[in-house]
């Protein structure tokens, strides 16, 4: 296992700049998806249902923002396996983030104003520990 191998200073700087770029894009740029969602689109004509649906989608979107924060910590990991795993997870979560954002716009709503807090809190906690299959 290569977890305790020291990262070169250039690698650390590249990782820090990559995380800063990823953070700014997640919080302030429109989310982009690499896949097209396969769920049906539907209209909500009742304003109460529309508000309620937008509120639920805002919570879902905040969760996707937090997922980006936790996967972003992988760039600072000394383990190449952890970095690769969390990079793949971040790409999948980016699709979810874009889909939630698109649905919020369809509902005429906006993301949570607390998204930077959710992102930074998740980033500070880091990714969840890996579960071991050994007894």
pLDDT tens for residues 38-86? 767 777 888 898 899 999 999 999 999 988 887 767 766 777 787 788 7
Torsion of CA 120, 122, 123, 125, to 10 degrees: 120
Q: What Rg, from alpha-carbon coordinates, does the chain have? A: 17
> Within a domain: residue 1?
no
Give the total number of structural domains in the chain.
Answer: 1
State the pLDDT at residue 135: 43
> Within a domain: residue 73?
yes
Say if residues 64 and 98 touch (Cβ distance below 8 Å). Answer: no
> Within a domain: residue 29?
no
Say if residues 62 and 114 touch (Cβ distance below 8 Å). Answer: yes
> Within a domain: residue 55?
yes
Residue 105 CA from chain centroid, whole number: 18
> Within a domain: residue 79?
yes
Roughly how many angstroms between the first and final C-alpha of the chain, as a whole number? 20
Domain holding 79, by residue range, is 46-125
Q: Give the number of residues written for the chain.
A: 135
> Within a domain: residue 71?
yes
Say if residues 115 and 62 touch (Cβ distance below 8 Å). Answer: yes
Two tokens, residue 90: 């971040």
% the chain with pLDDT above 70: 79
pTM given for the model: 0.71
Return d(Cα 11, Cα 9) in angstroms, integer: 5
Return d(Cα 2, Cα 5) in angstroms, integer: 5
Helix or strand or coil: residue 7? Answer: coil
> Within a domain: residue 64?
yes
> Within a domain: residue 2?
no
Most confident of the following: 3-17, 41-55, 116-130:
41-55
């Amino acid at each position: 296992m290569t977890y305790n191998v020291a990262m070169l200073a250039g690698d650390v700087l590249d990782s820090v700049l990559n995380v800063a770029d990823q953070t700014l894009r997640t919080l302030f740029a429109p989310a982009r998806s690499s896949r097209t969602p396969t769920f049906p689109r539907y209209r909500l004509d009742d304003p109460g249902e529309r508000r309620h649906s937008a509120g639920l989608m805002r919570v879902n979107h905040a969760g996707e923002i937090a997922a980006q924060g936790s996967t972003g910590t992988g760039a600072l990991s000394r383990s190449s396996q952890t970095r690769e795993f969390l990079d793949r997870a971040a790409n999948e979560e980016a699709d979810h983030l874009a889909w939630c954002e698109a649905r919020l716009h369809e509902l005429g709503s906006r993301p949570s104003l607390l998204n930077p807090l959710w992102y930074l809190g998740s980033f500070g906690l880091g990714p969840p520990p890996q579960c071991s299959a050994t007894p």
